[in-house]
Homo-oligomer: A and B are copies of this chain.
């Protein structure tokens, strides 16, 4: 026989809860830690309104209907020291409350849909990678901004600053099991610890599309085409944005002409990428420090100022790969139908060390924003990780600048929560029936905001307005006895009764 018999226990278990409750209330939520109440709104059910409802419910012994459950907060079994936390996300990071999440989802859906239209397959990699994957020696900004640390197993790890090295790692890993060309896309969060206090965040999401296994410039043409398709879908035109296109082989041909060693190439590109960010004298000093002669530097800067492919051909000649590839890309752009979007600009080199050929970046024509997206060919990345090289190109498209641009152009979509039905019992005893109605509707694919508490109709209508419910379904005693529910179409005001089974 259990020593814990009911006769023994009941008297001890059933002593009134109230004193204990009040005790725990005051010990767990001391006044000094409460959030300020200056924005109390009388119209909405807010935290403070709820809190006072709860107190009065406690005072009068709790809500008596609905199974004897008290409306009050339960006495707390969680006893923790109260520590007032910073309610903001860590510096440089974002929360996504519903309104922001709707925008993110909208954006990602367009990324995904465009990728699908182009026959790309989605992939992903860990947001936490080995640090070694991102450590390159060319002096990239990205390296100084690595969010890296040692894990508990003493491994050097980093929150990924970009997705391409992970792609390369996975492709080497999969090796011969992959059919080429592969067309992959990913949407992943990337992290950069920016030390300066600028408006830039420390994380962003990036849409990447990559084609591996294709040496032809048709790959670059296809990638730019997909970005153009994306812009068109969201209402951005060629008068809003453009692509500056060049090839690293332009630089390479110039450097080769001055017998600059190949192994300085990455470093030189990284320096040149900073041209619009730091003074030109500083650029020259840095280039000089890598060993470039003053003559070579002047020539280089001269070539970088070229904005016409014809001019480039005049200077470099028609025999090199740079001019030939660029010409082919511009010719393909015409066939793809996006000539108006692209222009040659020799100053574009991009800030990542691994690009080897054509590079491009999307820019806003008003010149107010940073690059919207960027990409290029990186045929030699895999071998830097010890793999066999595969011809490759891709782009990254962040979620931040594009939103700025959409705001700028008044193109941000209006996205609201929208539910098909709000279902409400007119009496707490009918809550179970309302649940049954909700279940039936959901099984038919209808979304239902089920009112889970006893509320006046006025409150229900307000909630319906907030959730943009199409239809109000009311479960009342009189109708339910006939197996029927009341329906109100909220846009038209039309009202009727209908058998539950007939509700579509």
A32 shortest CB reach to chain B, Å: 9
Interface residues of A in 104-152 (CB under 8 A from B): 104-105, 116-119, 121-130, 132-133, 136-138, 147, 149-152
- Does A446 lie at the interface of the complex (its beta carbon under 8 Å from any beta carbon of B)? yes
Q: Are B126 and A93 in contact (CB under 8 A)?
A: yes
When the two chains form the complex, which single residue of B70, B104, B123 contacts A101, counting CB atoms closer than 8 Å? Answer: B123
Residue A86 at the B interface, CB < 8 A?
Answer: yes
Per-position binary interface string of chain A over residues 352-363, scored 1 when its CB falls under 8 Å from any chain B CB and 0 otherwise: 011111000000
Assuming A119-B419, A389-B73, A450-B119, is B78 touching A152 (CB within 8 A)?
Answer: no
A360 to chain B, nearest CB (A): 16
Q: Is the CB of B450 within 8 A of A180?
A: no
* Interchain CB contact under 8 A, B85 and A386: yes
A211 close to chain B: CB less than 8 A = yes
A44 to B174, CA, bound (A): 14
Q: Enumerate chain B residues within 8 angstroms of A317, measured Cβ to Cβ.
A: 6, 9-10, 13-14
> So how many copies of this chain end up in the complex?
2
Q: Is the CB of A262 within 8 A of B79?
A: yes
- Within 229-270 of A, Cβ neighbours of B (below 8 Å) are at 229, 248-249, 251-254, 256-257, 262-266, 269
Chain B residues with CB under 8 A of A70: 215, 321
B101 contacts A124, CB within 8 Å?
Answer: yes
Tell me if A337 counts as interface (CB < 8 A to partner B): yes
Residues of B within 8 A of A116 (CB): 447
A54 to chain B minimum Cβ distance, whole angstroms, is 7
Beyond known contacts A69-B216, A93-B126: 6 more, CB 8 A cutoff? A12-B256, A34-B386, A68-B321, A76-B383, A77-B251, A81-B137
Nearest 5 A/B pairs, CB to CB: A335-B432, A67-B328, A119-B449, A84-B386, A77-B265
21 CB contacts below 8 A, A to B, read A10-B319, A17-B321, A28-B383, A39-B176, A41-B176, A47-B178, A66-B328, A67-B217, A69-B216, A69-B328, A74-B321, A77-B262, A79-B263, A85-B130, A95-B126, A102-B121, A118-B442, A128-B159, A151-B193, A181-B452, A214-B452
